[in-house]
Structure 1
């Protein structure tokens, strides 16, 4: 099996999203969101097909 870039996130599997505001130490409050299709890896597995095989 080979790996290729996830078509859903184009390889950008995780993103930091601000929640608005800052905590008591002055840091931005963020959460991390992962791509649901590749589970944060940025790649998907592809099946190798035999030459001449029908889909």
Structure 2
């Protein structure tokens, strides 16, 4: 018997699936580690995929 393949998740077009990144601030803390902040994609809120309701809304356009 054949297996049903689940539909592939839609990758966010704004971040291409790289939803969260660490950005260095350029200096170091007192222990010598680079200071970083985490930035999330505003379109997918850091998930890397487009929500199903957005896929359906965009399908008719």
Shorter chain as denominator, the TM-score bin is 0.7 to 0.9
Runs of 4+ in 1 over 2 A off after TM superposition: none
Higher percent of residues as strand: 1
Specify the SS of the correspondent of 2:50.
strand
Higher percent of residues as helix: 2
Higher RCO (CA 8 Å, separation ≥ 6 residues): 1
Give the CA RMSD over aligned residues.
2.1
Q: How many residues align?
A: 50
Give ranges in structure 2 of 5+ residues lacking alignment: 1-6
